[in-house]
Amino acid sequence: MPHLVRLGRRHAEMRLQNHVAGWANLKIKRGKGRRDVQMYGPPFRDVSYNNLSGSLPRWIQEQNLQLNLVANNFNLESSNYSSVLPYGLHCLQRNFPCNRGSPIYSSFAINCAGPTITSHDIVYESDNEPLGPATYYLTDTNRWGVSNVGYFIGSNNIQYNIISTSTVTNTQESRLFQRARISASSLRYYGVGLQNGKYTVTLQFVELANFTTIGWKSFGRRVFDIYVQGNLVEKDFDITRVAGGVLRRAVQRKYPAQAWHLYKNNRQLELVDSKLSEFSEEEVKVLIGVALLCTQTLPSSRPSMSRVIAMLCGDMEVSTINSKPGYLIEWAFNDVTTFVSDDINEECEDTSHYISSTRLRTTDKTLEISASEALLH
């Protein structure tokens, strides 16, 4: 179960994906010898992340309907029915427009399913808004939001959070682990209006469930995937296994939110400075592609200067990038391939001053930070 979240970027996204799917309000009854499957509660529909556009349909006015419309392209200003939806959909459309032109935040922290708590000078904002099988929520400051999808089959008293007064170990702040969010399918958190820069997503988990029961709560079945900026960073994450089999023991994970993640998910344009009102999308993609090629870990994988100029001028296609670039703080390699560009071979007879073997480690913390910042920007 996710507990507290800290993450960033102008639009940052963290998703926990379970393997149990919930989709629509329904009742399925099969023939003799088959099991009846019944869903309780209000009707709900999830059409998030579908690239839908245009005006909102009339059927969204259905009484007590739970509806998740996050990450589409609806024209909300011209829609006559947007007033019936929960606050925040205008910020949670696919391009996440709120504060995009003038980002005002550089971080945020959330106490998932719990009240506001200050710990070690960090204010963890409350996240106790009730969620359902197809719901979303955005704070009144437009700083962050949450979206949930999924239905727990076989229960008529559905709860999307869990509360425990048990002692949690491996933490100095047990107050942050008294409540947690749970989801039957997908739980996403969004950072909105965040400044450009290098960010780290910090997630803390604790298993509060009682595994003496059967079904979806049973041991060995509570696993989920973790995505950061659309990039899969953990597959089949099992809190209890990571905690060494110890129940109610807190565990922590940290993930960088990097340009590479956006590139891999075809979202390079989110790296553009928000102060730029006009720019060529194709030129941006070319520049980012060339930058990623030039920062490959192995010198032999980087293009020569003549190729760089040709790609920037449009005389040559940007080469396919299949490997994550290596930043200075990550370099620790020994590439025996001679790194001499074609330009140098043509113009210089003596190339003995070029390095054929590279080994670089940054040991000074100040240098390490400045080097990584320069490469990311």
β-bridge mates for residue 117, sequence order: 124
Q: Give me the pLDDT at residue 195, please.
A: 82
Query: pTM score, two decimals?
Result: 0.68
Q: How confident is the model at residue 142 (pLDDT cuts 50, 70, 90)?
A: very high
Q: What would the mean pLDDT of 350-363 be, rounded to a whole number?
A: 30
Q: List, for residues 14-25, the tens digit of each pLDDT value.
A: 666 543 322 232
Three-state DSSP class for 309?
helix
Q: Give me the pLDDT at residue 211, please.
A: 59
The rounded radius of gyration (Å) of the Cα atoms in the chain is 24
Task: Pull the structure tokens for residue 208.
Answer: 């509060």
DSSP code per residue over 184-240: SSEEEEEEESBPSS-EEEEEEE---S-TTS-GGGSTT---EEEEETTEEEEEEE-HH
Query: Do the beta carbons of residue 285 and residue 268 sit within 8 Å?
Result: yes
DSSP code per residue over 336-358: -S----HHHHHH-S--TTS-SS-
Q: List, for residues 186-238, the tens digit of each pLDDT value.
A: 999 999 988 877 788 999 999 887 655 555 555 545 789 999 888 888 999 99
Helix (H) or strand (E) holding 290: helix 281-294
Report the distance separating Cα 19 and Cα 238, nearest Å.
12
Query: Do the beta carbons of residue 133 and residue 40 sit within 8 Å?
Result: no
